[in-house]
């Protein structure tokens, strides 16, 4: 049997576009003489369609789209993910199509309803398991979570005599997720003694990135073929000739971070109909990394850099902002904000009389910058990319409607320590300076008052990031963190800041999810919440 | 049996505060010689605790809090809602306590996972049903959804000989929800031939309001007692003397809207530790209604009104803004924005050269106002209450970081037509002008350019609101709406606007949910979404 795994990048809700994409890959699989071509989970609609699934007209249209796909299946079998209404129930299904028609729907049995997943909101679980004969082989079809859990349907299909288990996935990325996934599928193949083929989606959808890395594994659990990550690919393998499979190399953590951020941004821009983006560059490292990644995602000609110095901006950061744009080859402009600061001060003078300058004046500068960037965004149709990192977003060290403003917050799941690592890595990979070295070397400062340093307000980032990782990612309690040897004062300060910043995060733009807890729908915390520990 | 239903207002995460509240009501029930006092669903933690439930330390602390409550149960039985860990599983449970100890946990069997609910994310469903003898009566205990569905556990408990079915709820409000709830519980009582007592929570929690309206219904389905809506209450009924029950009057739709908005705002302010609020008043009806409701929720001395006229503000709206504040007795200041507009224009002159004024200049004014209000908020600790209504939020006729800025968007689920109805109603109820009559009579305008009217950009509000109700609330398709007789042009324009505005709504502040689809977690739409129909 010649098997093709079509690792494609659908767009949620774009039924016509997804159909076209599926038909193109189907035609290519035919040209490759495949007997069977497999598409990802819910490829017909894109994943996750969320509450579009509650609209009957949407599901009806998806069914019609599937019919049109099935009509093109002459000479090979096709398995494609699609929603399937059966009576009053809706299923997350894999449709098997051949000879111009839909032959069968296989219903997903294990519905994930944790982390970023809400599948029990929409779907009824399937209960049946059966095999299909395709090109003379006994084939079992499963959908994503079905094979993440031991037991049925995998064991049932193996007992029934399966020779190949096909799995359709839209398995979201987090760092090194490909390793976990590959290990898990190898384990299933080994335990069941059946070859396994995983077709995973690729592409960015709001906060999620799907990383591809589709796989073919033999009945001994040995890897036969692996598609590359983060790009579309048709992986073709002759199952009777395992040597026919190509194995794309694995990427390390930093490279995965880079690729996920680039793909996530590129797809958000493209799928939402934007052409160009604008980034406020301060001379600091967050905005430098954001701009550098944006250039990689979109090309320098589609990235606009804007420096907005105030009286507190040093000549070092002003120069670095300009140098960054030169390094990247981007459009650059400098819009000094001082006249606007003074105009606001005049309007507020009566109200603020007798009060010392404080956070209000600092936030004002950030909001003036946000407002300037949004004015450019509105005037020229550029998507504003916000530059805040995960460490800041965690503790609320960011200004709502100021530096948090934007359509996409690229680094929202990148810890500050990783911002440094990734900036150095980009320079290394480029073999030249992209992020200015002086930016990397300078101590972080918001430059919203004289001689301000982030470390005046926050624990040092290496220490803070370790606490964040333990508290946010691992849900450790205050007590446990102290027992782990963290400084109790740092911990209780950080935890209080994290919980109080929920209202800010709720109004933050989406950004690429890199870790299991990205402050998106993977971490649903009430705003009104008096729990502190 | 003397039954007390403690309709209390817990705070999510405030275990100590909730315990105190429970103990106070328990003591009051004792003074009333109750045999049994019932508290709402998850009263120990507040509802919904969301992902706090995934933190082991939180659940452990809730269990300890329950033990402390149980210790106080001498002389009467107590049923209180609490999370309950049993082995590796977590349950949404009702704890029966008596004689100083927890006697039993009853596990919720039907877990809602639709609309605003995510209970399958956290809980395992219970499977058992049993009766408890309390004050000589056979009592069945159920939790919320358990009685919304026909069949078990209600039928099983009835068959087993129940004489009273107790239901602990945190049943979120939407308009006239109390009628639906009462009808449903009367039906269950009648069908099962068993008396029913519902104890519902009250209070605001982020977007949700719990409306109380606790109930006692006899075995014939007749209402014996009803607690008032929107306030805490201990409803005491002697089940052997149905005449002992008091029946609070029902409220009509407008009055419910008023009460829910007032309670939702008051609790958001109070539970998040704010003292005062600030409202930008434009002389238009949305901000006037917002300020009037804020005064009702908090008192005039805690509401600050700020008028921020531009060159496009008419003398009519300027006067109305001031008159509103006088009518309400609020602090009032006028901060003309023209100097800031000019300063921005100067900074942007180079970038905007040769371009006609457009939306960019309009949004700029809105963002200057948002920035001024946030400056006051930061300086004085006032919560900024945003003034946008549901019609605007639906179609995106609002400026991100401008008029959408704020910690709470009070009217986000109030259609524009209801803004008018409610304003007139408040004036009627007050017996004097609160919202100026001239504000009510004026055609709506954003006043962001000369001679601008909302109807230049949008269909007339009565028409728009009908489309929104059908498309958003009822999930009707474009085709169905046309078949229903809606103007196809208005419909397709509105639908395109609604879907494209998702990215704005995602960054909007929370606000009081009044309808089943309030653009919160009741309507989860992807931002990246090419579906249009």
List pLDDT tens digits, range B65-105. 999 999 999 999 999 999 999 999 999 999 999 999 999 99
For residue A47, the surrounding DSSP H or E stretch is none
**Counting Cβ atoms within 10 Å, is residue A112 exposed (0-12), middle (13-18) or buried (19+)?**
middle
Closest CA to B169 of B300, B309, B47: B47
Q: What tokens appear for A225 in the block?
A: 């073929």
User: Using a CB-CB distance cutoff of 8 angstroms, which residues of chain B are in contact with residue A49?
Assistant: 526, 531
3-state secondary structure B470-491: HHHHCCCCHHHHHHCCCCHHHH
Q: Is B271 in Cβ contact with A530 (below 8 Å)? A: yes
**Under a CB-based contact definition with an 8 Å cutoff, are residues A402 and B374 in contact?**
no
Q: Compute the nearest-CA separation of A246 from chain B (Å).
A: 33
Shortest CA distance from B274: residue in chain A: A528
Please report the residues numbered 8 through 47 in chain A whose beta carbons come closer than 8 angstroms to any beta carbon of chain B. 11-15, 17
**Under a CB-based contact definition with an 8 Å cutoff, are residues B197 and B94 in contact?**
no
Res B476: pLDDT = 83
Tally DSSP H helices, then E strands, for chain B: 17, 19
**Counting Cβ atoms within 10 Å, is residue A420 exposed (0-12), middle (13-18) or buried (19+)?**
middle
Which residues does residue B5 pair with via DSSP β-bridges, in sequence order?
Answer: B38, B235
Range with the poorest average pLDDT among B23-37, B201-215, B449-463: B449-463
User: Using a CB-CB distance cutoff of 8 angstroms, which residues of chain B are in contact with residue A367?
Assistant: 367, 370-371, 374-375, 401
Res A482: pLDDT = 85
Res A473: pLDDT = 85
**CA dist list (Å): A184 to A145, A187, A198, A215:** 11, 5, 11, 11
Closest CA to A471 of A438, A496, A435, A454: A496
Q: Compute the nearest-CA separation of A305 from chain B (Å).
A: 13
A89 is catalytic: no
Res A440: pLDDT = 97
**Under a CB-based contact definition with an 8 Å cutoff, are residues A75 and A87 in contact?**
no
Closest residue to B375, CB basis, from A364, A371, A531: A364
Any CB–CB contact under 8 A between B517 and chain A?
no
With H, G, I as helix, E, B as strand and everything else as coil, classify residue A495: helix
Closest CA to A167 of A190, A199, A189, A194: A199
Task: Report the pLDDT averaged over residues B278-303.
Answer: 98
- Segment A44-72, tens digit of pLDDT: 999 999 999 999 899 999 999 999 999 99
A108 is catalytic: yes
**What band does A425 get if pLDDT is binned at 50, 70 and 90?**
very high
Shortest CA distance from A366: residue in chain B: B371
Tokens 């659908």 belong to residue = A10
Look up the ipTM and state it.
0.96
Res B490: pLDDT = 87
Of A97, A107, A108, A137, which is the active-site residue?
A108
Any CB–CB contact under 8 A between B420 and chain A?
no
Rounded to the nearest 10 degrees, the angle between the axes of helix B338-352 and helix A338-352 is 170
Any CB–CB contact under 8 A between B89 and chain A?
no
Res A505: pLDDT = 96
Sign of the alpha-carbon dihedral angle for B146, B152, B156, B158: positive
Res A23: pLDDT = 98
Range with the poorest average pLDDT among A515-519, B58-62, B226-230: A515-519
- DSSP alpha helix (H) spans, B272-337: 285-298, 315-328
**Under a CB-based contact definition with an 8 Å cutoff, are residues A157 and A142 in contact?**
yes
Any CB–CB contact under 8 A between B472 and chain A?
no
Substitution target in B119, B206, B340, B509 with the highest count of A β-carbons within 10 Å is B340
Please report the residues numbered 264 through 303 in chain B whose beta carbons come closer than 8 angstroms to any beta carbon of chain A. 267-268, 271-272
Rounded to the nearest 10 degrees, the angle between the axes of helix A416-430 and helix A461-468 is 110
- Segment B217-230, tens digit of pLDDT: 999 999 999 999 99
Q: In angstroms, rounded to a whole number, what is the distance separating the alpha carbons of residues B124 and B120?
A: 7
**What band does A420 get if pLDDT is binned at 50, 70 and 90?**
very high
User: Using a CB-CB distance cutoff of 8 angstroms, which residues of chain A are in contact with residue B478?
Assistant: 57
Please report the residues numbered 338 through 367 in chain B whose beta carbons come closer than 8 angstroms to any beta carbon of chain A. 339-340, 342-344, 346-348, 350-352, 355, 358-360, 363-364, 367
**Under a CB-based contact definition with an 8 Å cutoff, are residues B54 and A473 in contact?**
no
Q: Is B335 in Cβ contact with A57 (below 8 Å)? A: no
Which residues does residue B304 pair with via DSSP β-bridges, in sequence order?
Answer: B278, B331
Q: In angstroms, rounded to a whole number, what is the distance separating the alpha carbons of residues B382 and B376?
A: 7
Closest residue to A401, CB basis, from B56, B370, B523: B370
**Counting Cβ atoms within 10 Å, is residue A349 exposed (0-12), middle (13-18) or buried (19+)?**
exposed
Q: In angstroms, rounded to a whole number, what is the distance separating the alpha carbons of residues B410 and B417?
A: 16
Do the strands B131-134 and B137-143 form a parallel or antiparallel pair, or are they unpaired? antiparallel
Mean pLDDT of chain B: 96
Q: In angstroms, rounded to a whole number, what is the distance separating the alpha carbons of residues B490 and A205?
A: 30
Residue A112 has pLDDT above 90, yes or no: yes
Q: In angstroms, rounded to a whole number, what is the distance separating the alpha carbons of residues A339 and B442?
A: 36
Tokens 């590359």 belong to residue = A228
Closest residue to B58, CB basis, from A204, A342, A531: A531
Q: Return the percentage of chain B with pLDDT > 70, whole number.
A: 100
User: Which DSSP string corresponds to B198-221?
Assistant: EEE-EEEETTEEEEB--EEE-TTS
Of A107, A137, A144, A390, which is the active-site residue?
A144
Shortest CA distance from B377: residue in chain A: A360
φ, ψ dihedrals at B150, nearest 5°: -70, 165
User: Which DSSP string corresponds to B69-111?
Assistant: HHTT--SSEEEEEEEEEETTEEEEEEEEEETTEEEEEEE----
pTM of the predicted model as reported, rounded to 2 decimal places: 0.97
């Amino acid at each position: 049997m010649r098997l093709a795994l079509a690792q494609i990048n659908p767009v949620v809700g774009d039924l016509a576009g997804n159909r076209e994409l599926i038909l193109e890959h189907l035609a290519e699989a035919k040209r490759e003489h495949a007997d069977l071509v497999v598409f990802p989970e819910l490829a017909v609609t894109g994943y996750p369609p969320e509450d579009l699934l509650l609209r009957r007209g949407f599901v009806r249209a998806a069914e019609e789209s599937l019919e049109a796909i099935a009509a093109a299946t002459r000479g090979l079998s096709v398995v494609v993910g699609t929603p399937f209404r059966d009576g009053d129930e809706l299923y997350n299904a894999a449709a098997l199509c051949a000879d111009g028609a839909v032959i069968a729907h296989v219903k997903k049995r294990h519905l994930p309803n944790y982390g970023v997943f809400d599948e029990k909101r929409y779907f009824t679980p399937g209960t049946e398991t059966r095999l299909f004969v395709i090109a003379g082989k006994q084939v079992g079809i499963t959908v994503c979570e079905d094979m993440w859990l031991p037991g049925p349907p995998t064991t049932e299909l193996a007992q029934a005599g399966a020779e190949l288990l096909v799995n359709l996935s839209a398995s979201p990325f987090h760092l090194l997720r490909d390793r976990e996934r590959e290990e898990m599928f190898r384990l299933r193949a080994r335990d069941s003694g059946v070859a396994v083929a995983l077709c995973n989606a690729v592409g960015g959808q709001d906060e999620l990135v799907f990383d591809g890395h589709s796989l073919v594994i033999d009945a001994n659990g040995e890897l036969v073929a692996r598609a590359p990550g983060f790009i579309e690919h048709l992986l073709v393998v002759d199952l009777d000739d395992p040597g026919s499979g190509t194995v794309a190399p694995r990427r390390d953590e930093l490279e995965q971070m880079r690729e996920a951020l680039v793909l996530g941004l590129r797809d958000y821009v493209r799928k939402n109909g934007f052409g160009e983006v604008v980034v406020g560059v301060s001379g600091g490292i967050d905005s430098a990394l954001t701009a550098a990644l944006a250039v990689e995602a979109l090309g320098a000609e589609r990235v606009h850099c804007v420096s907005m110095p105030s009286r507190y901006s040093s000549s070092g950061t002003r120069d670095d902002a300009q140098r960054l744009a030169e390094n990247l080859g981007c459009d650059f402009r400098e819009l000094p904000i001082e006249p606007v600061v003074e105009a606001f001060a005049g309007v507020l003078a009566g109200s603020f009389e007798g009060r010392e300058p404080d956070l209000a004046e600092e936030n004002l500068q950030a909001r003036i910058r946000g407002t300037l960037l949004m004015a450019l965004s509105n005037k020229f149709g550029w998507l504003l990319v916000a530059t805040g990192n995960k460490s800041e977003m965690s503790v609320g060290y960011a200004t709502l409607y100021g530096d948090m403003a934007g359509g996409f917050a690229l680094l929202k799941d990148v810890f500050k320590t990783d911002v440094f690592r990734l900036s150095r890595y980009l320079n290394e990979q480029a073999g030249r300076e992209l992020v200015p070295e002086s930016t990397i070397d300078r101590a972080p400062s918001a430059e919203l008052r004289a001689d301000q340093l982030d470390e005046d307000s926050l624990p040092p980032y290496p220490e803070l990031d370790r606490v964040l990782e333990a508290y946010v990612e691992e849900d450790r309690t205050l007590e446990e963190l102290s027992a782990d040897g963290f400084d109790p004062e740092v911990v209780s300060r950080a935890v209080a800041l994290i919980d109080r910043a929920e209202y800010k995060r709720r109004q933050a733009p989406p950004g690429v999810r890199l870790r299991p807890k990205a402050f998106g729908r993977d971490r649903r915390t009430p705003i009104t919440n008096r729990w502190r520990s």
